[in-house]
Amino acid sequence: MCGKPIEGKPIRVKIDGAAMDVCKDCSKFGKIQKVPRPSQYMQKKDKNKKRTNKPARNYSKNDEPAEELVENYGSIIRNARESKKLSREQLGEKIFEKVSVISKIETEKMDPDLKLARKLEKTLNIKLIEKSEKIDLESYQNISRGGNTIGSVVKIKKSKK
């Protein structure tokens, strides 16, 4: 604050809501703050290892089973809702969602997230989420064109079902 170089260890103070490291002379203008202790994740677990907040196992995208919505999920939801004689309003009340959300999902203008899809599955007793298989793109390479394109990947995905 005063512009002098800080000699020794700076003192952390709070002045007008801002935490600052200042010299001993300037520390009288604010409230001295305690130095924060290391969090529980950084405290030593034993003499050689430190705790971190990392998960127990590191997953790569290839390890995780991918889940995705089935095709024509909107008509599946609408047909199941109508077969149970529920209006969009009644279904919305059951799963605590707005009618506009139900409407957008049924017309497939909006994809439900996995949590909402699971709620719909449970309420309507339908299957909306499927685990996708790993696709080996190398075996489907288009030799004449020199590699995969978005179109060839779509053809691969459709041919798997």
Is the pLDDT reported for residue 18 higher than 50?
Answer: yes
CA separation (Å) from 54 to 50, 126, 161? 11, 36, 37
Backbone dihedral region for residue 146 (phi beyond 0: left; psi -120 to 50: alpha; all else: beta): left
Q: How confident is the model at residue 135 (pLDDT cuts 50, 70, 90)?
A: low
For 39-92, the pLDDT digits (tens) are 554 455 545 555 555 445 444 445 555 788 888 999 999 999 999 999 999 999
List all residues 6 or more positions away from 45 whose beta carbon is below 8 Å from its beta carbon.
Answer: 51
Burial class from Cβ neighbours inside 10 Å (0-12, 13-18, 19+) for residue 73 reads: buried
Q: What does residue 27 show for φ and ψ, rounded to 5 degrees?
A: -65, -20
What average pLDDT does the structure give for the chain? Answer: 76
CA 104 – CA 52 distance, rounded (Å): 42
For 101-111, the pLDDT digits (tens) are 999 999 999 99
CA dihedral sign, ordered 14, 18, 21, 24: negative
